[in-house]
C-alpha cells in the first residue's frame, strides 16, 4: 500500500468516526497461558488516528461537501493555508471542487501568492483524493519551496559554468587562428602565444576550483578533522601568493598571535586563506601592503586579510561570496579570476563550523575575516601565546 493510500485510509477512518484499529498480532501456541492482569495493564494503548494524522510532517486537511475544513493537522495550520474553517487559497478551492465533481484524484504543484502576509511557502505539491460518498475531499500538501530554490540554484550554476567555460575556450580558438595568420611575425607569435597561455591557465584554475567547490559541497565535505596549527596555514598561504605579490610590487606582512590551533583540514584551510590573500593581491595597486593577522577572540581564532586596494561598493558586499559574482568583472578577467575563490572560502568556513565576513569602503581597501572555532591545546605551565611582530620584510 502506498503512503497516500495509508493517509487516505486514516482520513477515512476519522470521518467515519471509527478511529484507527491497531491490532497487535501475537503468534499463539496451544499451551500459552493468558497474560497476568498486571502485565496487560502496563501495555500502552495505541494512538488514535487523529493523533497519527496530527503527528505527520505532511500537511493533511479534509473538506466536506460545503468546502468547510472538518479536519486539519498541525502541519496544515503551520503552512498558513487555512483561515478559520476555510481554505485560504483560491486555486486549491477550485481543485477541490474539480475532484469532488470528477471523483478522480489529482496531484499538482501550486504557486502561492507571494504578497500574502505571514505565508511562508511559495509553492506546494498537493495530492487531492475523494474520500467516502459524502463529498469529502482530502488534501495532502507538501511545501516544495526549498526544492524549487535548489533547482533554480542548480540551473543558474550550470548556466554560469557554461558561460565561464565558453569564454576561455572561445578566446583560445580565436588566438590559435591569429597564431596561424601571424606565423611569419615572431613578435606577434610571442604575443598571441602568451595570451593562449593566459587563457589556458585561467581555464585550468576554473576547472580545479569547480572540482574543489564540488568536493566542499559533497556528502562528506570535511575529512576526519585533525589539529591544525594556524601558523602553518598562514605560512603556506603566504608562500603561495608571494610570487604574484612580488610581480605587482606588493608586500605581504604578518602579525598577531602565534601558537593557536584549530580542528579541521589543513589543506582546505590553506586554500581558504590563500584565496583571501590572492584576492587581496589581485585587487590592490602596486607598491602597497597586504596584511595577514591572527588573534584569538573568545572561543574563535580570527584570521584577517587587509589590503589597500580599490575596496568594494556597499551594494556588492552581500554578494561577494556568491559563485561567479565579480564586483569588478573587467579587473577580475584581466587578472584571470574565476569568481569562485570567495565562494570556496565561505564553504570551507562553514564546513569548519566558522564563518567569513568582509568590511570594505570603496576606494579605501577591504578586510576579510575568517573565524574558526579554537581548539584547546595543553601548554606547559607559565606559557601563553605570544604576539608576533613582523619586521616589515614579509615572511620567508
Q: 83-130 pLDDT, tens per residue?
A: 888 888 888 889 999 999 999 999 988 887 754 444 467 788 999 999
Return the pLDDT at 213.
66
Q: Tell me, what DSSP letter sits at residue 387?
A: E
Question: Is the confidence at residue 394, as pLDDT, over 50?
Answer: no
**Sign, Cα dihedral of 159, 161, 164, 169:** negative
Q: Read off the pLDDT of each residue in 320-335 and give the average, rounded to a whole number.
A: 61
Lowest mean pLDDT of 119-123, 168-172, 250-254, name the range: 119-123
What is the band of 395 on the pLDDT scale with cuts at 50, 70, 90? Answer: very low
Query: How many whole angstroms separate alpha carbon 44 and alpha carbon 227?
Result: 49
DSSP output for 27-54: ---TTPPPPPHHHHHTSPPPPPHHHHHH
Question: Is the confidence at residue 41, as pLDDT, over 60?
Answer: no
Say which residue the cell 488516528 belongs to.
Answer: 49
Q: Cβ(62)–Cβ(85) under 8 Å?
A: no
**Best-predicted range by mean pLDDT among 1-10, 216-225, 315-324, 325-334?**
315-324
Return the pLDDT at 38.
41
Query: How many whole angstroms separate alpha carbon 105 and alpha carbon 143?
Result: 19
Say which residue the cell 568556513 belongs to.
Answer: 349
Lowest mean pLDDT of 3-7, 21-25, 289-293, 332-336, name the range: 21-25
Query: How many whole angstroms separate alpha carbon 345 and alpha carbon 340?
Result: 9
139-154: per-residue pLDDT in tens? 998 888 878 777 776 6
Lowest mean pLDDT of 15-19, 85-89, 174-178, name the range: 15-19
What is the band of 377 on the pLDDT scale with cuts at 50, 70, 90? Answer: low
Q: Read off the pLDDT of each residue in 285-299 and give the average, rounded to a whole number.
A: 92
Percent with pLDDT over 70 in the chain: 69
Helix (H, G, I), strand (E, B), or coil: what is residue 70? strand
Q: Phi and psi (nearest 5°) for 226?
A: -130, 170
28 grid coordinates = 499463539
DSSP output for 152-173: HHHHHHHHHHHHHHHHHHHHHH
Q: Is 368 left (phi over 0), alpha (psi -120 to 50) or beta?
A: beta
Q: Read off the pLDDT of each residue in 288-317 and give the average, rounded to a whole number.
A: 91
Q: Read off the pLDDT of each residue in 361-365 and give the average, rounded to a whole number.
A: 84
Return the pLDDT at 321.
83
Q: Read off the pLDDT of each residue in 246-254 and give the average, rounded to a whole number.
A: 91
The CA–CA distances, whole Å, from 117 to 80, 83, 113, 142, 297 equal: 10, 13, 10, 20, 40
Q: What's the pTM value of the predicted model, to 2 decimals?
A: 0.51
Question: Is the confidence at residue 18, as pLDDT, over 50?
Answer: no
Helix, strand, coil distribution of the chain in percent, nearest 5? 45, 20, 35
CA angle 167, 169, 171 (to 5 degrees): 70
Return the pLDDT at 88.
82
What is the band of 186 on the pLDDT scale with cuts at 50, 70, 90? Answer: confident
Q: Phi and psi (nearest 5°) for 39?
A: -70, -40
Query: How many whole angstroms separate alpha carbon 302 and alpha carbon 147?
Result: 35
Query: How many whole angstroms separate alpha carbon 97 and alpha carbon 268?
Result: 56
Q: Read off the pLDDT of each residue in 223-232 and give the average, rounded to a whole number.
A: 87
Return the pLDDT at 389.
47
Question: Is the confidence at residue 55, as pLDDT, over 70?
Answer: yes
Query: How many whole angstroms separate alpha carbon 311 and alpha carbon 362?
Result: 4
**Sign, Cα dihedral of 50, 54, 60, 65:** positive
| Partner residues linked to 388 by β-bridges | 256
Return the pLDDT at 250.
93
Buried b (16+ CB within 10 A) or exposed e, 192-201: beebbebbee
Return the pLDDT at 188.
85
Say which residue the cell 580545479 belongs to.
Answer: 208
Question: Is the confidence at residue 358, as pLDDT, over 90?
Answer: yes
Question: Is the confidence at residue 237, as pLDDT, over 90?
Answer: yes
Q: Spell out where the chain has E strands.
A: 59-63, 69-72, 82-83, 86-87, 106-111, 123-131, 136-143, 226-229, 251-257, 261-264, 289-297, 300-307, 355-360, 366-373, 387-389
Helix (H) / strand (E) containing 330: helix 329-334
Return the pLDDT at 43.
41
The CA–CA distances, whole Å, from 334 to 184, 223, 283, 328, 331 equal: 28, 35, 11, 10, 5
What is the band of 293 on the pLDDT scale with cuts at 50, 70, 90? Answer: very high
Amino acid at each position: 500500500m502506498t503512503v497516500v493510500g495509508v493517509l487516505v485510509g486514516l482520513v477515512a477512518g476519522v470521518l467515519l468516526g471509527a478511529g484507527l484499529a491497531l491490532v497487535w498480532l501475537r503468534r499463539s501456541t496451544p499451551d500459552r497461558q493468558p497474560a497476568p492482569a498486571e502485565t496487560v495493564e502496563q501495555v500502552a494503548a495505541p494512538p488514535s488516528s487523529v493523533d497519527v494524522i496530527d503527528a505527520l510532517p505532511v500537511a493533511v486537511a479534509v473538506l466536506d461537501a460545503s468546502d468547510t475544513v472538518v479536519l486539519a493537522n498541525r502541519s496544515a495550520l503551520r503552512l498558513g493555508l487555512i483561515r478559520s474553517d476555510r481554505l485560504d487559497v483560491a486555486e486549491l478551492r477550485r481543485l477541490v471542487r474539480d475532484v469532488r465533481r470528477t471523483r478522480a484524484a489529482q496531484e499538482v504543484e501550486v504557486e502561492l501568492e507571494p504578497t500574502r502576509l505571514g505565508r511562508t511557502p511559495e509553492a506546494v505539491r498537493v495530492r487531492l483524493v475523494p474520500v467516502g460518498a459524502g463529498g469529502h475531499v482530502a488534501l495532502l500538501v507538501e511545501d516544495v519551496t526549498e526544492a524549487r530554490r535548489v533547482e533554480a540554484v542548480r540551473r543558474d550554476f550550470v548556466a554560469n559554468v557554461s558561460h565561464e567555460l565558453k569564454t576561455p575556450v572561445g578566446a583560445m580558438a580565436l588566438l590559435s587562428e591569429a597564431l596561424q595568420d601571424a606565423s611569419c611575425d615572431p613578435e606577434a607569435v610571442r604575443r598571441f602565444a602568451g595570451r593562449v597561455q593566459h587563457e589556458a591557465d585561467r581555464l585550468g584554475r576554473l576547472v580545479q576550483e569547480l572540482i574543489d567547490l564540488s568536493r566542499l559541497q559533497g556528502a562528506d565535505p570535511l575529512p576526519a578533522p585533525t589539529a591544525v596549527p594556524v601558523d602553518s596555514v598562514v605560512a603556506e598561504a603566504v608562500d603561495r601568493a608571494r610570487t604574484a605579490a612580488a610581480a605587482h610590487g606588493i608586500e605581504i606582512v604578518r602579525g598577531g598571535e602565534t601558537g593557536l590551533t584549530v580542528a579541521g583540514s589543513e589543506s582546505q584551510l590553506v586554500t581558504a586563506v590563500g584565496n583571501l590573500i590572492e584576492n587581496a593581491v589581485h585587487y590592490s595597486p602596486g607598491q602597497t601592503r597586504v596584511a595577514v593577522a591572527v588573534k584569538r577572540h573568545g572561543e574563535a581564532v580570527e584570521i584577517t586579510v587587509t589590503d589597500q586596494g580599490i575596496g568594494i561598493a556597499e551594494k556588492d558586499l552581500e554578494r561577494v561570496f556568491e559563485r561567479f559574482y565579480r564586483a569588478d568583472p573587467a579587473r577580475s578577467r584581466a587578472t584571470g579570476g574565476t569568481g569562485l575563490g570567495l565562494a570556496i572560502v565561505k564553504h570551507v568556513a562553514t564546513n569548519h563550523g566558522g564563518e567569513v565576513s568582509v568590511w570594505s569602503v570603496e576606494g579605501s581597501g577591504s578586510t576579510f575575516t575568517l573565524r574558526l572555532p579554537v581548539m584547546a591545546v595543553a601548554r606547559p605551565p607559565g606559557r601563553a601565546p605570544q604576539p608576533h611582530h613582523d619586521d616589515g620584510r614579509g615572511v620567508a
